[in-house]
Amino acid sequence: MRPWSWRWWFENRETGAITVAQFPNLPIWIALAGWLVGRFAGGAVATAAQVVTYLAIVWWAGDEIVRGVNPWRRVLGVGGLVYVAMRVLA
């Protein structure tokens, strides 16, 4: 497999299958739950939900960067960290 080819980006290094996305895992479920609570709550509850959402995204992103099955998944992890950094610093 040649570096930087289409297959190099998306091939799962463990199984050889093409992996673009996977079923959501625990940090993504937590982020989704936090986002939903934040959408319908107000005040301190909404702020706490937003913090939980961002922490869950950072957890997911870090896991993807460290244990992602292919370069594409690692890039998604970096994108998650950039998203949270931009939201927090804005």
Domains in the chain: boundaries: 6-89
The three-state secondary structure class of 48 is: helix
Q: Compute the chain's Rg from CA coordinates.
A: 15
Q: How many CB atoms lie within 10 A of CB 27?
A: 19
For the entire predicted model, the pTM comes to 0.90
What confidence tens digit (pLDDT) does each residue in 24-78 have?
Answer: 899 999 999 999 999 999 999 999 999 999 999 999 999 999 999 999 999 999 9
Encoding tokens for residue 4? Answer: 């930087």
Whether 74 contacts 68, CB under 8 Å: yes
